[in-house]
């Protein structure tokens, strides 16, 4: 395959990855705590011989997560919580601790632990919110 073919194939591959990121952003646009992602493209320019045009190739090989605060909305859920500003809720998962900004929690029967996505909230502070 010639250089023009490699450049075209690389560009198409980068655009495909960018479309996957955009589709993921659209699919999760209403997911609580979701952070929008984008692609970062790097451009490489190769000097050609004296009377030939230069060769330019863009690689889309890095995903970037935007850490901007999203809009907060009132849910009226007894155990729903939100973080304004910086910070994350820490969950205990089978793979170890994980972070999330989603705050739609469900208490267990004893009101001692809160759960989301089937994972327990670490360092639960529900005792402060529950009445005896």
pLDDT digits (tens, 9 = 90+) for 76-99: 888 788 888 888 888 888 888 888
| Token code pair at residue 41 | 């493209």
**Is residue 23 very low, low, confident or very high in pLDDT (cuts 50, 70, 90)?**
very high
From 50, 65, 80, give the residue that closes a domain.
65
**Contact call for residues 55 and 48 (beta carbons, < 8 A):** yes
Share of the chain above pLDDT 70, in %: 77
Residue 65 has pLDDT above 70, yes or no: yes
pLDDT at 1: 62
Alpha-carbon distance of 100 to 116, in angstroms, equals: 10
Same domain, 11 and 45: yes
Same domain, 61 and 75: no
Same domain, 55 and 80: no
Alpha-carbon distance of 49 to 54, in angstroms, equals: 8
Same domain, 59 and 88: no
Alpha-carbon distance of 59 to 62, in angstroms, equals: 9
Total domains in the chain come to 2
Supply the range of the domain harboring residue 108.
Answer: 70-132
Residue 27 has pLDDT above 80, yes or no: yes
pLDDT, average across residues 48-62: 68
**Is residue 129 very low, low, confident or very high in pLDDT (cuts 50, 70, 90)?**
very low
pLDDT, average across residues 2-23: 81
**Is residue 46 very low, low, confident or very high in pLDDT (cuts 50, 70, 90)?**
low
């Amino acid at each position: 395959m010639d250089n023009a073919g490699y450049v075209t194939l690389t560009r198409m591959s980068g655009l495909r990855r960018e479309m996957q990121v955009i589709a993921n952003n659209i699919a999760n646009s209403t997911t609580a705590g979701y952070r929008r992602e984008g692609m970062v493209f790097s451009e490489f320019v190769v000097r050609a011989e004296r009377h030939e045009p230069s060769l330019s190739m863009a690689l889309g090989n890095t995903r970037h997560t935007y850490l901007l605060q999203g809009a907060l909305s009132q849910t009226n859920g007894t155990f729903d919580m939100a973080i304004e500003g910086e910070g994350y809720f820490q969950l205990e998962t089978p793979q170890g601790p994980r972070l999330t900004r989603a705050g739609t929690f469900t208490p267990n029967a004893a009101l001692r632990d809160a759960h989301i996505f089937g994972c327990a909230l670490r360092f639960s502070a529900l005792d402060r919110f529950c009445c005896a």
